[in-house]
A and B are shown apart, each in its own frame.
Chain A
Amino acid sequence: MELCDLSALEMTKLLREKKTSAVEILQSCLQRIGRVDGRPGALDQVVTDDDKQKVHSFITLTDDLALEQARAVDADLAAGKDPGPLAGVPFTVKDIFCVKNTPSTAASRILANFTAPYTATPVERMQKAGAVMIGKVNLDEFTYGSSTESSAFQPSTRNPWDTSRVPGGSSGGSTASVAAGEAPLSLGTDTAGSIRQPAAFCGVVGVKPTYGRVSRYGLIAFASSLDCPGPVARTVSDAAAMLQVIAGADEHDSTATVLPVADYMSGLEKGVKGMRIGLSPDYFRITFPDLKTGEFHQQPLPKEIEEAVRRAAQVLASLGAEIVEDVPMPNTRFGIPAYFVVSRVEAASNLHRYDGVKYGLRTHKQYTDLKQMYKISRNEGFGLQPKLRILMGMYVSAAQYSEQYYQRALRVRTMIRRDFEEAFDPQGKYRLDALLTPTTPTTAFAMDAVYGDSVLMQYADQLTVPANHAGVPGISLPGGLDGTNLPIGIQLLGADYTEDKLFRIGRAYEQATSDEAWRKVLPGVLR
């Protein structure tokens, strides 16, 4: 095991004990990147066979800046100052966050030349806590996807467990960088599952906090009512420590709640005795639409995934939790149809700001007037997935269709929210502390297998998107490996602002399974 394979909390402990330095930790991570990552994503690249063996987490490596920050941490420690709770811990940032004086591309050609003039609040808080940003990592263009393949910056990220597989998405660079030991922490975003789904595919911990628990200031917006920044880590404790740092009110984001942030660390080891954890049959079947008839077909989950969830329930029961079966979540299956409408309307609105006037790409071709300049610039700058979202958003929000689609989707959102309210109601029938579900309907699929089919790709998020509609928190945990050694993710969902409970349950499960054989298996690129 190398320094870069330690958890964030182990790293910072060694640092405080003066057994290592922030610079040494950084160098270990940079060496790992040199060994497994390959070239960073860039515009107009052809992917070679050699590229297909590497991870390609990064778009921009900020190693000079990182060295400066690491030296500052070491200097603070030498001077007896406290450099913060995440002192010397390297982290990566999904390239959808603005970081001052660094390229902030959203993995899109339209922002390829954009250098952010300010830093996003969650990144600023990480840096203030002593964490060291080592670079900006790849994602689906503007976060629009579940495989990271739609990035304009190629080679896009590949799964460290098997580089012929996708890492999931859209935070694929974040989860791959953490799984491959390039950094112990990453900052991602989750709009329909974009932290939890790639966390499941890459065998790491991914947290979607309650909507409003973490500020969105400096996040390049996709669907503003659904976007949640959150941590990616290799352990539950690290994820809790990171959320502790980034959560909280922010005068720059009026949707960031002023409710006090719970102490996530103090309750971590308290165990699950007496906690009520639910299982829902509505999360053990998956839905796919038949495009010929418009009807939906339901099928059981892959056996290995269902078994992983049931095994986790048994583990938690053996630790004293009460497992509550048959919790109805009947509106789960409407999550994707409602999301297709709500997210597209918000995306189309958010993407209208990219017009080649104030920043970003302006075409070099000839144009006669402003409107033509907009059109040519946007056509050159946006890839197919942003274009698709703009067109869908325009259509379903048009006056004549709004009642049929947008208004209806917003009311379905209420129904989804009510499923969770009933499940978690302390005076209700179920009184759950958490709902235990699978994170994804499959394990990581092959590169190129789904990309291009925008409907099938969206359905990769069917078990994660209900939490985004409802605003409730969720965490994906490694829950085993399938028959081909690909990670399986299990998900815990909770009531608003109960991240502390989810961490507590996650930590108990992690400890109870720490000696299991699958925990010892390393991602393919590290074997």
Chain B
Amino acid sequence: MSDQITPEIFEHLVDLAALELDDTQAEYLRKQLNNQLKSIHELEAIPIDPSVPANLHGVPFTPEQSSNPRADEWKLSPDVKDILSQAPELEDGYIVVPDIPHTTLK
């Protein structure tokens, strides 16, 4: 079987995934990705009756077994300081980030 993920497709995926890889990592990951796609090749050949629906979560969620959603009420977290203290860069209670690049939507 030929490799589905060409270097060009791989580069695009890396960009979408917000990663930046060195050559060794890229070579390993592209090879493994292609191997995984070959190993799921069988999926395409499985005969599936058109009436078979998609299943997102195994166990059915019936009204009897599901909890009611919580009321959509604003609550102050008791641990604001603890949570903010995890931020890599903080200034006056705000999380600092670098410039956000502007892109034009096509």
Candidates B17, B35, B40, B101; contact of A387 at CB < 8 Å: B17
The distance from the CB of B12 to the nearest CB of chain A, in whole angstroms, is 9
**Docked-complex contact A411 and B101, CB < 8 angstroms:** no
Contacts of A233-270 to chain B: CB distance below 8 A:
249, 251, 254-259
Asked if B76 is at the interface (CB within 8 A of a chain A CB), the reply is no
The distance from the CB of A193 to the nearest CB of chain B, in whole angstroms, is 14
Contacts of A394 in B (CB 8 A): 13, 16-17
> Which B-chain residue is minimally distant from A331 (CB atoms)?
B46
Contacts of B66 in A (CB 8 A): 254-255, 257-258
Contact count band on A: 35 or more
**Docked-complex contact A225 and B56, CB < 8 angstroms:** yes
The distance from the CB of B102 to the nearest CB of chain A, in whole angstroms, is 9
**Docked-complex contact A412 and B48, CB < 8 angstroms:** yes
Stretch at the interface among A24-32, A169-177, A309-317, A369-377: A369-377
Q: How far is the CA of A132 from the CA of B70 in the complex (A)?
A: 31
The distance from the CB of A348 to the nearest CB of chain B, in whole angstroms, is 7
Q: How far is the CA of A390 from the CA of B36 in the complex (A)?
A: 13
> Which B-chain residue is minimally distant from A415 (CB atoms)?
B52
Q: How far is the CA of A517 from the CA of B46 in the complex (A)?
A: 45
Asked if B105 is at the interface (CB within 8 A of a chain A CB), the reply is no
Asked if B55 is at the interface (CB within 8 A of a chain A CB), the reply is yes
Q: Write out, one digit per residue, whether chain B residues 14-25 have a CB within 8 A of any chain A CB (1) or not (0).
A: 101111110001
**Docked-complex contact B101 and A225, CB < 8 angstroms:** no
Contacts of B69 in A (CB 8 A): 254
- The answer to whether A375 and B20 touch (CB under 8 A), given A257-B66, A454-B32, is yes
Contacts of B29 in A (CB 8 A): 384, 387-388, 391
Contacts of A347-406 to chain B: CB distance below 8 A:
348, 352, 355-362, 367-376, 378-379, 382, 384, 387-388, 390-392, 394-395, 404-405
> Which B-chain residue is minimally distant from A336 (CB atoms)?
B39
Binding site for B on A (CB under 8 A): 114-115, 117-118, 210-212, 225-226, 249, 251, 254-259, 289, 291-296, 334, 336-338, 340-341, 348, 352, 355-362, 367-376, 378-379, 382, 384, 387-388, 390-392, 394-395, 404-405, 407-415, 417, 452-455, 458, 468-472, 496
Could you pull out 20 A-B pairs where Cβ atoms are within 8 angstroms? A115-B86, A257-B65, A258-B66, A258-B67, A334-B43, A359-B86, A361-B88, A371-B18, A375-B18, A387-B21, A387-B29, A391-B19, A405-B43, A412-B43, A412-B46, A412-B48, A414-B53, A415-B46, A470-B59, A472-B58
